[in-house]
Structure 1
């Protein structure tokens, strides 16, 4: 467990004694695909570090559709901002595959964390990244049309584009898998997207950006 904690960006500058104290409030949990890690509105008591698999974070809209905010992958931490700011989980986290998570109970650790400037700095950095991600999601969902969403997503996530399944990307973009397939078909035919060699001609693709 100590070796795992040392790899967590949030804790990388902490002493072994401090990590041993944190370790007492940690447990490794395994979840099957589609299991819920936490629901939107639940009390934010736990931090989660993805050890294996992938987590989908989403909000449920008034029409019961999902607005996907982010996919968390290995070595990414979930919910640190909610935990340290003391508000309920703002979205639902669901296992997008079979996953293994490090679950950290922060009830007894919050004072320790908040008195450590290194951890506070990492939290601020994480908050800035999450705000930028939310701005991107809102812009994509509220402003851009389907084609522009697809182009912008590929330009910003060219590596991830080849690792995610098509229905996952479609869900993230709030379009149907059929629409996504139709949108990228001309790019494949024109050699802009090379699925075989996993390459994208970003300069040419950027010409299609609105």
Structure 2
């Protein structure tokens, strides 16, 4: 594995379990990235403690202090750019980003969503999957575009849905897969195995990520 580390910044809003999964892979020497900062719009986000314990810089940018979404996003850009990341990782960042923000980081902005996109974009995906009586569910890593949860798909993982599942049980099953595929997608980006083309398609230079 190359010794060059991919500089990233991670954005979170809550417990940060996907961030922690990424951090574990970094600490195990399996993911060649340099997590330069973790930023949250919520001061109570548990993921901030994970970062601080690991010696990673943290920032809190409370969106409630900004009357306009665009102003908040511009301040967020300033903080992110201080760390000069090559990839910005959304790990449970519960904010709809402006077109200006998305275009600024286009091709360098990645998200994970708890459904098999394009099915069930938005919130309450597990409840909606059960109500729809589908036989499988899962998670999707994708590049972020202006369409919410509509960006080009990088990687997906599927899980079965069982007769007696509840949204909570299904969420736990999906989360296990999220913790596997997000580091895989970031690794592929770090190794330049994937990128976003100018026409909005995922280009794969090797067959390792399908």
TM-score normalised by length of structure 2 = 0.27
Question: Larger helix proportion, structure 1 or 2?
Answer: 1
TM-score normalised by length of structure 1 = 0.27
Structure showing greater Rg: 1
